[in-house]
Amino acid sequence: MSPAQTLDKPPVTPANSQKYDVNENYEGEYRFAPIEESQVSRAMIRRYFNTMYERAISDVVIVGAGSAGLSCAYQLASTRPELKITIIEASVAPGGGAWLGGQLMTPMVIRKPADRFLREIGVEYEDEGPFVVVKHAALFTSTLLSRVLAMPNVVLMNATAVEDLMVHEDFQGKQRVAGVVTNWTLVALNHDTQSCMDPNTITAPVIISATGHDGPMGAFSAKRLVSTGLLKELGNMRGLDMNRAEPAIVNGTREVVPGLILTGMELSEHDGSNRMGPTFGAMIGSGVKAAHEAIRILDS
């Protein structure tokens, strides 16, 4: 049989699908339905590259899938299900710094009123009065990630880095961020080991950057604003002060240049606000506020 003939031949027709079932006690032989390796490859390739084609023009791009970026994605996608939201995450594993509570300890502290978001996404916690504690940071992050990925209007491209911003001039000659320049992260991190490996682009009227304050590409967009002259200099994150840091970041979440909203710890590097250490309420509040800022821009 020529390979083409195996292209979409379904290995199991409904009539004989019972042959590949196994009883609840797993008694008897466990047999998989037959498959061609090429069908596995084509099942992935078709979907991934159709998505890349379709999301080359998105409504909103969120850079960074840490606690701020994911909180923003959840709020935006649930509030405006018609928006095409594309999340670009440099790591293979999304979640950023929110898999642990702090210094490798697992419980996650979230100060009120950010606990409201936990009830919204269905994460249990212990109430300690002014703050709550989620038993494991991964419970928060995995729940939030699963809610975001279940939304039909959200696409996550992980292991993909934003390695530049698209900047256009509007009709008044004002510079506006109009999209992102992307590459697979391993390529983006190895430009100096090879000749230039050209990137890809995603065009969108609103970019929300949530690339954190540390890591190989921390505060990426804020730093790019400086190197492209759209920002005179970074404010640089200040020392730890929980009571100053968290409200400053939530209340400071905004469109810093036309078309670009900064959220989460990246904003502390842009503005020079304090860091808060191992408490995550501001990441949630800033992410949610960034979603409302994006809607304001899109509706204006």
- Residues contributing to the site for ligand 48N (CB under 6 A): 63-69, 88-91, 96-98, 161-162, 210-213, 215, 217, 220, 240, 264-266, 275-277, 280, 283
Q: Is 255 annotated as a binding residue?
A: no
Nearest approach, Cβ of residue 54 and ligand 48N (Å): 20
Residue placing its CB nearer to ligand 48N in the complex, 11 or 272: 272
Q: Which C-beta is closer to ligand 48N: that of 43 or that of 134? A: 134
Write out 157-197 in H/E/C secondary structure. EECEEEEEEEEEECCCCCEEEEEEEEEEHHHHCCHHHCCCC
User: Strand 160-169's sheet: what is its strand order?
Assistant: 160-169, 175-184, 200-203
Q: Is 31 annotated as a binding residue?
A: no
105 annotated ligand-binding residue: no
User: Would the annotation count 198 as a binding residue?
Assistant: yes
Burial class (CB within 10 angstroms; exposed 0-12, middle 13-18, buried 19+) of 198: exposed
Nearer to ligand 48N, 83 or 207 (CB): 207
Question: Considering the complex, what minimum distance in angstroms separates the CB of residue 155 from ligand 48N?
Answer: 14
296 has binding-site annotation: no
CB of 288 to ligand 48N, least distance (A): 12
Q: Report the nearest approach of ligand 48N to the CB of residue 242 (Å).
A: 9
| In contact, 257 and 226? CB cutoff 8 Å | no
**Angstrom distance (rounded) from CA 249 to CA 251:** 6
Closer CB to ligand 48N, 83 or 222, in the complex? 222
Asked if residue 24 belongs to a known ligand binding site, the reply is no
Query: Is 89:79 a contact under the CB 8 Å cutoff?
Result: no
Residue type, 60: V
Q: Is 213 annotated as a binding residue?
A: yes
The DSSP element (H or E) to which 238 belongs, if any, is strand 238-240
- 275 labelled as ligand-binding? yes
Q: What is the DSSP string of 121-166?
A: HT---EE-SSEEEES-HHHHHHHHHHHHHTSTTEEEEESEEEEEEE
For residues 90 and 111, give the distance between their C-alpha atoms in angstroms, rounded to a whole number: 28
According to the annotation, is 276 in a ligand binding site?
yes
Closest contact distance (angstroms) between CB of 136 and ligand 48N is 15
3-state secondary structure of 52: helix
Nearer to ligand 48N by Cβ, of 46 and 125: the residue is 125
CA dist., res. 37 & res. 57, Å (int): 32
Residue written as token pair 């190197």: 227
Q: Which is nearer to ligand 48N, 12 or 139 (CB)?
A: 139
Which CB, 59 or 246, lies closer to ligand 48N?
246
What is the smallest separation between the CB atom of 68 and ligand 48N, expressed in angstroms?
Answer: 3
Residue type, 247: P
Minimum CB–partner distance for residue 270 and ligand 48N (Å) = 12
Binding residue positions for substrate: 68, 89-90, 97, 162, 198, 213, 265, 275-277
Q: Which residues are annotated as a binding site?
A: 68, 89-90, 97, 162, 198, 213, 265, 275-277
